[in-house]
Amino acid sequence: MIIVIQCADRVGLVAAISGLLAQKELNIISMHEHVDNTANLFFMRLEVDKTIGAEELEENLREILPADALIKINPVPEKKIIVLVTKEYHCLADILVRNYFKTLGASVQCVIGNHDTLQDICRRFDVPFYHLPATADKNLYEQSLVNTIKKYEYDYLVLAKFMRILSHDFVSHFPMQIINIHHSFLPAFAGASPYRQAYERGVKLIGATAHYVTDELDEGPIIAQQIIPANHSLNVQDMVKAGKEIETAVLAKALKLVFDDRVFVYKNKTVVLE
């Protein structure tokens, strides 16, 4: 059973929590903890060796924790997700394969595409695919997204190369529930055609960043980042291809961390207790 706690820090917190667990004869298998001194925040992820009633345990924890504590107790850690895509297959296919072999740590409820390019791969894995083309009226389009999403239970929306910008309104419906992946460079290249800009600057690294989606485009809390080397022998197309490899790897890593309840969000950042 996994127990996740985020609250204001104070002396004796760890003692109180671990004392309670000891009382209940729960043995701690792994415990990760972090304190942000500046923000005076305490983060903890515990794995204990038995599964007991979550309700009673949460109640007991509330008694010893600050009033505003966030507590999550997961007897069954599997999450439910909905994936949004456009035309690029690399991230979606990786998710579908892991979903099929039950190593994703989540189950894919459905896939929604603004193009139908990826319909067939979903069909091959018996995953429902909804083709919802973007319409001139953004509100209308996002309403159709929401309608489809609401048909399912879900913990997270995964933007697996979904190339539409979502409105403030849409995002506010899913606070810290939307995960996105995008290319990253040193330095960042703002504006259109980032790969062309990166190529023209002769970058020596191509990276990817997985992050929660907030109102500010591509500026939400970072979950995972990685890079691969690049050099002059790559043309723009080669760089795009290399970017896809790293995007796939970073999104997979980020999803594993999130589905495993290892990622805490506060302010505009994350604490990842690996």
Please identify, using beta-carbon distances, which residue of 45 and 79 lies nearer to a copy of itself: 45
Please identify, using beta-carbon distances, which residue of 104 and 145 lies nearer to a copy of itself: 104
CA-derived radius of gyration, the chain: 21
Instruction: List residues bridging with 111 in a β-sheet.
Output: 83, 129
Torsion sign, CA atoms 98, 99, 100, 103: positive
Pair 217, 190: CB distance under 8 Å: no
Query: How many Å apart are CA 147 and CA 93, to the nearest integer?
Result: 24
Catalytic residue among 126, 218, 260, 261: 218
116 is annotated as an active-site residue: no
Instruction: Quote the tokens at residue 47.
Output: 């794995």
**Bond prior to 187 in cis (omega within 30° of 0):** yes
Please identify, using beta-carbon distances, which residue of 170 and 212 lies nearer to a copy of itself: 212
Burial class (CB in 10 A: 0-12, 13-18, 19+), 101: exposed
CB of 184 to a copy of itself, least distance (A): 4
Torsion sign, CA atoms 179, 181, 182, 185: positive
Active site amino acids = 218
